[in-house]
Structure 1
């Protein structure tokens, strides 16, 4: 076939294929070096990055070093610079063996970069793949880095990346009485924003500590919209190994606040749930200790339950929402209802109301109605800061 004709056919196909194929054309902010290299020239640079900060198959740190950027130190979030530390595992400071650059853990002795950490830094860069949920801690790390930057008069460049759950907004708004590192602001569980948009919201609404504002420069994605089906190329954390887990995360993370297993310690974390006390029929699994899950819930116990990895909710679709039916059904069939919820549930849900509603047998439809006023208000706020 004529080469030019073949190219035309392939290009035409790009316009008529689904958004999943179109997402292959998305260019994250990091790839657009011409937009930010001049800002880093002759500066001592601090970078908050992990394994997801790449340009193609090359880590951003390596790419910038080849472009003669002076990287003074690396700051790492939960799961560490290489992304292999377990859930909630504290990470120590270290030296990157490949480059010799010091790594300061912001999920170890302290979470906020101190004045001492930043004294030899002229400018900061943030590049981490988020998944668009309130309880995924990377947006909390972003907030605390923004506060540190503002307090120490440093500019923060945010290299934006697509949100794989950016096509919808859903869930209860956080009651700030239950503020924690898995929920720092009054936003819904699924906020529908990229990290760059969220940083603009934090500044614009003056939600940073004491109302301060950070000097941010967002390098946006190219060829991305909130309807783009974006397939995350590198797993953002050890227990989100694939797109099924990433898309189910907003619904199955509720089980973190119960006595059930949600699959940590199996090959399908956040894609299965169960308990030894569930009816002994159908699907079963046994959580095992591993490097990323040294002590999973219900370790070494045979659990009966449900495998969600192949249900329609694992892929984006029009009208996506958080699925409450799994949590409601699990509570209904659990034999010892007084022990189903643990105190951590209020932090995951961001309130005590959801637990009370489920215990009282409130229908899913009525629970969702109770979210509507807060969601409507948030969507008005969110709209002011969208870039896509």
Structure 2
């Protein structure tokens, strides 16, 4: 089954939409059916696992695949849980299948969770940014499968931010669930390619190897940024948020509101104590998106970045200008940075450089050599043009 995805192309200052047919890995059933039929199957999935209008789990079951158990990442199987909200084990009302949560106390499938499973399937839409937690879920699933001798099949999907590579490479002292591997903020790989890199570089605990099969998607090239048919998570509701996320998520590590508590998360930023800014808004709790946004109920002064989609697409790099401007304009009593900032950036140097008044280009120079080295590692695992 094929479905339509919009490819957004910048020509001069204009954005044109071109229609292209792309088949996600899970849609290419004829290429992997022999891996699943006659086996008891576990599926790691959320609401983005779709085949047209059908959920991927329903699609597999309709083909006769014996789905035994479903594993759910941050935001849950149906994608409705708020960011950071603990997701509990439960039974899915629509399918009657047991749902094992991989976000909360237990982020890695336990041996009991994998009992009787003969093969695992991973099918989740990624957005190509290091601090998006689905990568960490992939890591732990691969590790658990390797330890239990269970083959893993990753159904690949296009990465909407695969057309560039940029940002600091994560250093060991900043490893956390929002960044587990020595990769730049934007790494330019699909989740299938990334799984190959985790395996090939020996990043799993004890350098165990997962029995990994990647089912490629068809009809997509790396230089084609895509408009996803489903919002990958509640606070990435559209292509603008997805495109700006790599640049504006840094605000999560500061006192500044990053648009949570609005209908345009990661497309605006602001704080009551930012001075001389052109845009104002009031963050408010929104069920399913941001129940406790920073600066809730207060008028925040900042910027509306919705029109900057083309800026990232044209520059092919993340943008630090907005973060540096907010730091310059901030006059609050509380510290500008919080403990999350270094984990998001991947090192302690960038925070120090900002406080020292370094320019964007001076800061960017600090990660250029590391990114060049990463590109050599990355090359070994690429599947697409």
Question: Do both share a fold (TM > 0.5)?
Answer: yes
Q: Deviations over 1:266-285 (max 9, x none)?
A: 01100000011122653111
The residue aligned with 1:296 is 293
Cα 1:200/1:29, change in 2 over 3 Å:
same
Q: 5 Å matches for 1:1-388?
A: 24-279=20-275, 282-292=278-288, 293-313=290-310, 316-317=313-314, 319-336=315-332, 339-388=335-384
Bigger Cα displacement from structure 2, 375-384 vs 221-230? 221-230
Would the aligned equivalents of 1:20 and 1:230 in 2 still touch at CA under 8 Å?
no
Would the aligned equivalents of 1:23 and 1:224 in 2 still touch at CA under 8 Å?
no
Q: For 1:216 and 1:23, how far apart are their aligned partners in 2? A: 32
Would the aligned equivalents of 1:20 and 1:229 in 2 still touch at CA under 8 Å?
no
Would the aligned equivalents of 2:69 and 2:97 in 1 still touch at CA under 8 Å?
yes
Q: For 1:187 and 1:304, how far apart are their aligned partners in 2? A: 33
**TM superposition shift of 1:313:** 4.0
Q: What TM-score does the superposition give when structure 2 sets the normalisation length?
A: 0.94
Larger radius of gyration: 1
Would the aligned equivalents of 1:80 and 1:105 in 2 still touch at CA under 8 Å?
yes
Would the aligned equivalents of 1:44 and 1:121 in 2 still touch at CA under 8 Å?
yes
Q: For 1:169 and 1:340, how far apart are their aligned partners in 2? A: 27
Would the aligned equivalents of 2:169 and 2:370 in 1 still touch at CA under 8 Å?
yes
Q: For 1:174 and 1:161, how far apart are their aligned partners in 2? A: 24
- Structure having the higher strand fraction is 2
**TM superposition shift of 1:229:** 2.2
**TM superposition shift of 1:36:** 1.2
Would the aligned equivalents of 1:243 and 1:314 in 2 still touch at CA under 8 Å?
no
**TM superposition shift of 1:312:** 4.3
SS of 1:267 mapped into structure 2: coil
Q: For 1:354 and 1:281, how far apart are their aligned partners in 2? A: 24
**TM superposition shift of 1:359:** 0.4
Would the aligned equivalents of 1:168 and 1:191 in 2 still touch at CA under 8 Å?
yes
Q: For 1:161 and 1:23, how far apart are their aligned partners in 2? A: 17
SS of 1:273 mapped into structure 2: strand
SS of 1:298 mapped into structure 2: coil
**TM superposition shift of 1:21:** 5.0
Cα 1:136/1:102, change in 2 over 3 Å:
same
**TM superposition shift of 1:63:** 1.0
- Structure having the higher helix fraction is 1
SS of 2:210 mapped into structure 1: coil
